[in-house]
């Protein structure tokens, strides 16, 4: 990646750091604060009950870096050297604009601090990153988190990471009129190298579990399948789950699927429409799988973990019904690869990506097993290899 500090200073004609030791940010009018935030993978749980899900997640070694510095006027200047794009705004017009594209995510973080009463002048912002786009790795959330951490340093704001996660989710919805789970922000803020995270969406509590896959890579394969009407289909499934909660709890306010087991749904076959029951059964079983998977990881039981991942994909395919033939083919090829520990659909579904945890020495064979994909489906897959990594942090400027 680019040396963002040098690029930022050159772009905004700032003086180089003077006398700053390693790990410090230089003071003075030309101070630059740089933060880094990772992409993330939800290994299980991303299609759960809204606001009450249970996720098994981790950060990856692809990230976004954001550099910020203060201006003497009230202008907001944004620069993305990777795209050779510049955007402009003012504090008086701090709002979503379609033409601002990636800069809107930085503005979400700015709005967070404005909303808690922290005074800001104009700002210079530079954004760079290497997270693959539009494949379900939370690149936009990473921009928001990195921006928030950099701004917290620049503004000397006393805002906790839990507050950042909740406020980013609320402000994201305000800007884009589209829900963003606080879990994505929690993963970016809380992750540690070589650790999985179990995140409770209801409380944002995090449990860290050491990864037994230090000699493996996570291979993400983009199917390149065009996707249409994903938002509508996912909304229909979310509404089905919500209606099931109402039926099972007899309309009791505040009820969640945490209160019910798979057997409750099986016993309610006569009361719940079949399609609603199946959608909800996947969600209930998935929560249990997340808990079971965490225990398998603690035991370093790679085989047991792999079976749970496979069952998770089967639930998405057969009960939640958001997979497709191309994705199922990729998952099967991964499951047949010696040295692979679990493979599953990744992200929103109806195409998109799969992930597989593969021993380093077996990655080549996994790639070879995908050779027939383009011949069969006429799409050329795009493969990314990543590892579990640490979360967000300030960097030396």
DSSP labels, 320-371: S----HHHHHHHHHHHTSTTEEEEEEESSSSSSEEEEEEEGGGHHHHHHHTH
For the entire predicted model, the pTM comes to: 0.93
CA 161, CA 304: separation in Å to the nearest integer?
A: 33
Q: Domain 216-387 has what CATH class?
A: alpha beta
Query: What pLDDT score does 24 carry?
Result: 37
Across the chain, where does the E strand assignment appear? Answer: 33-44, 54-70, 75-80, 85-90, 123-129, 195-200, 206-210, 216-222, 340-346, 353-359, 382-386, 388-389, 393-395
Which of 342-354 are b and which e, b meaning 16 or more Cβ less than 10 Å from the residue's Cβ?
A: bbbbbbbbbbbbb
Contacts of 160 (CB under 8 A, 6+ apart): none
- The phi and psi torsions of 161 (rounded to 5 degrees) equal -65, -35
CA 300, CA 212: separation in Å to the nearest integer?
A: 5
Contacts of 121 (CB under 8 A, 6+ apart): 70, 71, 72, 73, 74, 91
Query: What pLDDT score does 288 carry?
Result: 94
Tell how strand 123-129 and strand 75-80 pair up: parallel
CA 358, CA 153: separation in Å to the nearest integer?
A: 38
* Mean pLDDT, 10 residues at a time, the chain of 397 residues: 94 79 50 97 94 95 97 95 96 91 97 92 96 92 98 95 94 90 95 96 96 96 91 93 88 85 71 89 94 97 96 97 97 95 93 96 95 95 96 94
Cα-based angle 331, 44, 234 (whole degrees, multiple of 5)? 85
Which stretches within 212-273 are classed as H helix? 230-248, 262-267
CA 345, CA 356: separation in Å to the nearest integer?
A: 9
Among the listed residues 383, 395, 363, the one whose alpha carbon sits nearest the alpha carbon of residue 63: 395
Contact 198, 55 (CB under 8 A): yes
Among the listed residues 228, 221, 234, 218, the one whose alpha carbon sits nearest the alpha carbon of residue 329: 221
CA 301, CA 307: separation in Å to the nearest integer?
A: 10
Query: What pLDDT score does 12 carry?
Result: 96
Residues designated as active site: 184
CA 214, CA 195: separation in Å to the nearest integer?
A: 10
CA 332, CA 342: separation in Å to the nearest integer?
A: 10
DSSP characters for 262-296? HHHHHHTTTTS-HHHHHHHHHHHHHHHHHHHHHHH
Q: Domain 4-210+390-395 has what CATH class?
A: alpha beta
CA 276, CA 269: separation in Å to the nearest integer?
A: 10
Question: What are the domain boundaries of the chain?
Answer: 4-210+390-395, 216-387
């Amino acid at each position: 990646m680019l040396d963002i500090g040098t690029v930022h200073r050159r772009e905004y004609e700032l003086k180089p750091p003077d006398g700053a030791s390693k790990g410090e940010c230089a003071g003075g009018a030309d101070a630059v604060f740089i933060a880094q935030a990772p992409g993330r993978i939800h290994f299980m749980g991303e299609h759960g009950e809204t606001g009450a899900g249970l996720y098994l997640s981790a950060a990856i070694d692809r990230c976004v870096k954001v550099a910020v510095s203060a201006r003497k006027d009230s202008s907001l200047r944004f620069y993305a050297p990777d795209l050779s794009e510049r955007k402009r705004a003012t504090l008086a017009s701090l709002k979503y604009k379609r033409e601002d594209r990636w800069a809107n995510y930085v503005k979400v973080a700015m709005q967070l601090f404005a909303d808690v009463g922290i005074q800001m002048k104009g700002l210079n912002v530079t954004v760079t990153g290497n997270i693959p786009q539009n494949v379900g790795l939370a690149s936009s959330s990473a921009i928001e988190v990195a921006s928030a951490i950099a701004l917290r340093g620049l503004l000397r704001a006393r805002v906790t990471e839990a507050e950042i996660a909740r406020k980013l989710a609320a402000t994201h919805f305000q800007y884009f009129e589209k829900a963003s789970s606080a879990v994505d922000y929690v993963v970016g803020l809380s992750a540690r190298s070589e650790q999985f995270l179990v995140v409770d969406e209801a409380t944002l509590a995090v449990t860290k579990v050491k990864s037994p896959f230090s000699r493996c890579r996570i291979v993400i394969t983009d199917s390149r399948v065009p996707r249409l009407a994903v938002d509508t289909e996912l909304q229909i499934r979310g509404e089905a789950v919500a209606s099931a909660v109402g039926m099972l709890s007899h309309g009791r306010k505040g009820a969640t699927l945490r209160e019910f087991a798979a057997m409750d749904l099986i016993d309610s076959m006569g009361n719940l429409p079949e399609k609603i029951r199946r959608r909800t059964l996947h969600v209930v079983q998935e929560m249990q799988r997340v808990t079971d998977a965490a225990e398998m990881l603690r035991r370093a039981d790679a085989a047991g973990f792999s079976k749970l991942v496979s069952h998770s994909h089967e639930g998405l395919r057969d009960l939640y019904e958001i997979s497709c033939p191309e994705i199922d083919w990729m998952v099967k090829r991964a499951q047949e690869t010696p040295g692979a520990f679990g493979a599953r659909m990744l992200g929103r579904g109806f195409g998109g990506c799969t992930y597989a945890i593969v021993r380093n020495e077996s990655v080549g064979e996994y790639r070879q097993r995908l050779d027939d994909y383009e011949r069969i489906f006429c799409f050329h897959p795009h493969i990314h290899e990543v590892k579990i990594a640490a979360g967000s942090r300030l960097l030396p400027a």
